[in-house]
Amino acid sequence: MEWHDEGLILGLKKHGETSVILEAMTPAHGRHLGLVRGGRSKRWQPLLQPGNSVELVWRARLDEHLGLYAVEVTKPRAGQVMTSALALHGLNHLAALLRLLAERDPHPALYETALLIADHLGDARVTPAALVRFELAILAELGFGLDLSCCAASGVRDDLIYVSPKSGRAVSRLSGIAYQDRLLALPDFLRDANAEADAEAIAQGFRLTGYFLERDIFAPRGVRMPDARHAYLAELSRLR
């Protein structure tokens, strides 16, 4: 069996003395692993790095086998990522989110978004908001999407400033006024692409997505929220 695809390198694992198992997110084949023979050589080590974009050819006798990768690097980002703690933690968090998806399950829209984020990982002005939206998209892909379209209580579509922690649905200012201490804040930028995402709005966004990621994804699997997420938020707070 053989296929050709592009990919974003998420991680590598040593295999034997000279090879690596490369993990990449691809548009048509999802998160996919393959063996790169000689991947630990002086030639390949600087190139096979998380964050780099690659062209991949995967070959195996059977579809369920690990298979072999032939790799060509098309866009090296790793050097730039390594110069920024924010970018490095952001990349690790991005990879951790993509690892929530089943292997070999295509998610082309998430792949394209991940590429856009990877291109701007060190930019504290735009990437944090993009990562919040990406967390929302991951929740939706895993079957736990939030409904931010209208108020859960009244059905109105305006002045939505809360989210119910029980239902994951938006709540308007008027409907939520009596319960505001028990509701999660809904920052404007998650409903309006033109809204400003300042530091407080970003913090609210990460609190919102973090609540549902923890409750619906990580806790049921018996695992903790990724350290990379905590490290990213700590570095973002330090920069601001």
Contact 197, 55 (CB under 8 A): no
Establish if 198 belongs to a structural domain.
yes
pLDDT cut 70: percent of the chain above it = 100
* pLDDT at residue 193, rounded to an integer: 86
Contact 8, 24 (CB under 8 A): yes
Is the same domain home to 31 and 121?
no
Establish if 176 belongs to a structural domain.
no
Establish if 51 belongs to a structural domain.
yes
Indicate which CATH number applies to the domain containing 42. 2.40.50.140
Establish if 170 belongs to a structural domain.
no
Of the three residues 60, 76, 92, the one that is the final residue of a domain is: 76
Is the same domain home to 231 and 217?
yes
Is the same domain home to 138 and 227?
yes
Is the same domain home to 13 and 111?
no
Q: Please give the tally of structural domains in the chain.
A: 2
* pLDDT at residue 240, rounded to an integer: 78
Q: What rounded mean pLDDT belongs to the chain?
A: 96
Range of the domain at 108: 81-148+186-239
- Tens digits of per-residue pLDDT, 179-191? 999 999 999 999 9
**Residue 210 Ramachandran class (φ > 0 left, ψ -120 to 50 alpha, else beta):** alpha
* pLDDT at residue 230, rounded to an integer: 97
Is the same domain home to 38 and 67?
yes
Over residues 47-55, mean pLDDT? 97
Q: pLDDT class for 111, splitting at 50, 70, 90?
A: very high
**DSSP secondary structure code for residue 180 in this structure:** G
Establish if 166 belongs to a structural domain.
no
